[in-house]
Chains A and B, each alone.
Chain A
Amino acid sequence: MLPRWQTLVALVPLFGLTELGLHQWFSSRAPAFEDYAALAPQLLALKKPGEPVVVAPRWAEPLVRQAAGTAFPLHELARADDTGFRRFLEVSLLGAEAEALAEFKLLERRRVGPFELRVRENPRHEPIEFDFVAAAERGDMQVFNEQGNARSSCPWVEHARASTGGLHGHVTYPRRRFECDGGRFVGVTLIEDQGYRPRRCVLAQPPALGSLVIRFAAAPASQRLVGWAGFSYFLGRDGNGGPITLSAKAETRQLGRHVHRPEHGWERFAFDRAGEAGPVELTVHSDTRELRDFCFALEAR
């Protein structure tokens, strides 16, 4: 009688052959470039404005972006979060499902080669009444430096010198921006959150002394303001630089105040607005004089 362990050991060569077979299967399983090219027209036909495309697994997203770049408008790709969108278009391959959409209702599914396109509805959708980042991108606001009771205006510049900092440097400094004294400015850029995902936001560099004031003259009525604040997580994750305070007020009353620490990453906050309409004034203040690449997004909901 052969000991059981010897019988098991004798199976090792079969394991070797099985491993080779599995390797062949895994290495040829993912879609090829041609598959993505064939997907593109169908994806673009199904894509509607305001319905972000989500790719599952996430690592395949650059391939879908390469094949169908127009399906990814930047404001959707780098959205503040998912709650502002009613529907999503999920591109699934290898049977994957986007974790963030897992509980969203499936409205439609369509097979395209090795992909499945799924239209999903967000059960926690909160309509966006006003997107302050889009307004900032249009230059549709006023920006001031405030010290004591004195305010100095920061003019809108269409063709400033844009710059990028690379891996260890600053976030992209946009070409269209409000330029303040001391070389600081306000404009729309991207930062990466704590998952290193892109977030589109208003870069607001507070002055060395005093505060930065951003005034939106007309924001439609909404129950509340929902916001997100952050720094580039890669640069801010070690907590250097101390907190930044963002406060919001309506014409006559204070709406709320959020204190943000860089190591927190992309952080959500909300201020009650009680259905009011009218101007919204944001004040950004740093306790330190150093240049701070603070960024925020804000929506009236």
Chain B
Amino acid sequence: MPFRTWGRRNPDALIAAALCLGYLTLLLATAGSLGFTRDEGFYFAASRAYGAWFELLFTDPEQALSRAVVDRYWSANHEHPALIKSLFALSHRFLGGGFGFSEASTSFRFPSMLLSSLAVAVTFLWGRRVLGRLAGLVAALSFAFMPRVFFHAHLACFDLPVCAMWLFTSYAYARSLSSPRLRWVVVSGVLCGLLLNTKHNSWIFPFAVGAHFILTRGLATLSDARNGRAWWRRLPLAWASILVLGPLVFYALWPWIWHDTLARLREYAAFHTGHDYYNMEFLGHTYWKPPMPRAYAWLMTLATVPGVTLLLFAVGGLYCVARSWRDRSQQAPEGQPRCEGSRSELVLWGVCLLMSYAPWVSPGTPIFGGTKHWMTAYPFLCLFSGLGFKVLAEALPPALSRLGSGLAKLAQRPRTLQALAAACVLVAPVGMTLHSHPFGLTFYTPLVGGAPGAANLGLNRTFWGYTTGSLTAYINQSTPPRAAVYVHDTALQSFAMFQEDRRLRRDLKPTLSIHGSDFALYHHEPHMSRVEQQIWLEYGSISPDVMATYDGVPVAWGYVRSADAPKR
């Protein structure tokens, strides 16, 4: 079938593909100006170790599968599951160098970018199914153009991958509930295994599925049980798949747990349930031990997600609640959904969203990673925004026709009106997201006064040391040959990637010693101030030589050791 014919018959698939490819292209085009985060450095190193094991597997499978060899290669960064780092490794193996990407870092980052782009496409497809095409498009683009999502979508980390995997799994699960095909049941189980193998946020997913079951089938199941009917027939078939295939896939794709499985799983769980509390600034206070502020997740969402996306979300959410309330009192006709779209799917969106935020209700949950921790909620937030847009699109024509004159004429052309409305609700997220690059973690919405307002309020300005990427030109030009660079919060492995990709000169020597350095980096967080104060005394200067700012707010800066302050 010619492509044009296929496209005409499958416009939604075509739109989904265009969204995926467009977003992937945008991510690839902007990756070169984004520095390497601290955690990426550790994952680059782990991925190289896994990559070496894959090489061995291809050449000498028997040796590669021996316990000693598996443990040696897969012990690297075993506090996180292996799937995404394995993808980084394979991507680097097949797409790094030669005909692949010009920067090694991009080959590592590519799987994250691809998964993020697929998440945009799946958000569209799900929104399309439940809400309609334009609303689905608004949902997908609202997700793609969340500044923090755009930032994390670039990184060789697990935060956007787990967000994507959660979305894929819940989508497949929703399809399995409404479709008689066994395909979605199997896919749900496989995807759940991949989700488990992505990041520990996945531990919450079964609770979301359980809550969804209670809310959608709980009463009926209870009634069946009380009346002696076969209540178990109401249990979703996908549960069996999730319970059987999920753990199998999880186990199969993480060689580290092939041996000493239970002990290593216990260690994995203990690492995350007893994680250290790193420092995080919030409203002018640096939190470093519990109790953590309960308002953190909500306020940071308000401060970093475009206001119009949140407003549409509120419209969608309120509309859904109002309709459900009305339908409760006025029995809906048989077979007709109680709310716009599929009620079951809307409930699933709601529980996935709330479950993603749930850990931050507890003041004992660490907050050091900022918004990335609950990004699994964002596709669902945007799907509700899509619902809000649908409500808006329906409200606009009658509202405009009341105004008379030219606007009333516009009301008679609903498609044009809807397209204009979509442009209006997307232009701010797109504009803000593009402007946020490459300072994604410094970006804040106008609700808190942008980056300067957030700095006034004492909201975290940056972490992870990636903003070294904004100082590379100065470092390359202003440091002597073989100069030692104090890396501060940039991991040594991340610094090495700057050099491997030739963003930094290869003769430079990274060091963790201020005393032994010729150039000192400083990435600002309040608790890090002591590092800058040490630089002042060591270099004999309180005046930075170079500074990276975002919207006029200092983010990272550097000091050059002067001839008056020689190394001793």
Contact = CB atoms under 8 A, between A and B. Distances in A.
B512 A166 contact: yes
Given A30-B551, A175-B568, A12 B308 contact: yes
Contacts of A77: 542
Interface string B119-130: 000000000000
Contact of A16 (B424, B456, B528): B424
B553 A96 contact: no
Contacts, number: 188
Kindly list the 6 A-B residue pairs having the minimum CB-CB distance in the complex, ordered from nearest: A30-B552, A69-B543, A26-B450, A13-B424, A10-B399, A22-B446
A174 B538 CA distance: 8
A276 interface: no
11 contacts: A20-B427, A26-B451, A29-B552, A60-B554, A63-B549, A78-B533, A166-B534, A171-B530, A196-B527, A198-B529, A237-B288
A149 interface: no
Given A27-B451, A27-B551, A59-B554, A192 B456 contact: no
Contacts of B531: 166-167
Nearest to A2: B398
Nearest to A20: B428
Give the interface centre of B420, B451, B529 by most chain A CB atoms within 10 Å.
Answer: B529
A17 interface: yes
A9 B450 contact: no
- Secondary structure at the B interface, as helix, strand, loop or mixed, is helix
B103 to A, nearest CB: 28
A205 interface: no
A23 B454 CA distance: 13
Interface stretch (A44-52, A105-113, A156-164, A208-216): A156-164
A264 interface: no
Given A23-B446, A172-B534, A12 B529 contact: no
B284 to A, nearest CB: 9
The number of chain A residues touching the other chain, given as a range, is 35 or more
B399 A165 contact: no
B431 A20 contact: yes
Contact of B547 (A29, A30, A63): A63
Give the interface centre of B398, B425, B446 by most chain A CB atoms within 10 Å.
Answer: B446
Contact of B426 (A16, A65, A74): A16
Interface string A122-166: 000000000000000000000000000000000000010111111
B311 interface: yes
A162 B536 CA distance: 13
Contacts of B535: 164
B286 interface: yes
B437 to A, nearest CB: 13
B529 A57 contact: no
Interface string B399-430: 11010000000000000000011001111100
Nearest to A175: B568
A208 B327 CA distance: 77
A10 B394 CA distance: 9
B428 A19 contact: yes
A161 B527 CA distance: 26
Given A171-B530, A191-B530, 8 more contacts: A2-B402, A26-B449, A26-B451, A30-B553, A59-B554, A63-B547, A74-B542, A167-B488
Interface of B: 286, 288-289, 306-308, 311-312, 315, 388, 391-392, 395-396, 398-400, 402, 420-421, 424-428, 431-432, 435, 445-446, 449-453, 455-456, 461, 488-489, 512-515, 524, 526-531, 533-538, 541-545, 547, 549, 551-554, 557, 568
Contact of A190 (B451, B456, B512, B537): B537
B533 A198 contact: yes
A32 interface: yes
B200 to A, nearest CB: 26
Nearest to B289: A238
Contacts of B489: 167
A167 B528 contact: yes
A73 to B, nearest CB: 9
A278 interface: no
B534 A234 contact: no
A196 B526 CA distance: 6
Given A19-B445, A196-B530, A197-B529, A163 B515 contact: yes
Given A30-B553, A196-B529, A94 B452 contact: yes
Contacts of A20: 427-428, 431-432
Give the interface centre of B453, B530, B542 by most chain A CB atoms within 10 Å.
Answer: B530
A62 interface: yes
Nearest to B400: A10
Nearest to A22: B446
Interface of A: 2, 6-7, 9-10, 12-17, 19-20, 22-33, 57, 59-60, 62-63, 65-66, 69, 72, 74, 77-78, 94, 96, 159, 161-167, 171-172, 174-175, 189-192, 195-198, 232, 234, 237-238
Contacts of A163: 515
Nearest to B422: A13
Given A20-B428, A69-B541, A237-B288, A165 B534 contact: yes
Contacts of B534: 164-166, 171-172, 190
B543 A59 contact: no
A96 B308 CA distance: 28
B515 A12 contact: no
A166 B514 contact: yes
B537 A16 contact: no
B543 A162 contact: no
Given A2-B399, A12-B308, A164 B445 contact: no
Contacts of B311: 12, 15
A262 to B, nearest CB: 14
Given A16-B428, A19-B306, A27-B451, A162 B445 contact: no
Given A10-B392, A10-B400, A167-B531, A66 B288 contact: no
A12 B393 CA distance: 10
Contacts of A234: 527, 530
Contacts of A33: 547, 549
A58 to B, nearest CB: 9
Given A27-B435, A96-B456, A234-B527, A190 B543 contact: no
B406 to A, nearest CB: 16
B443 to A, nearest CB: 9
A69 B551 contact: no
Given A166-B512, A192-B529, A9 B568 contact: no
A163 B568 CA distance: 9
Contact of A23 (B431, B456, B529): B431
A120 B343 CA distance: 64
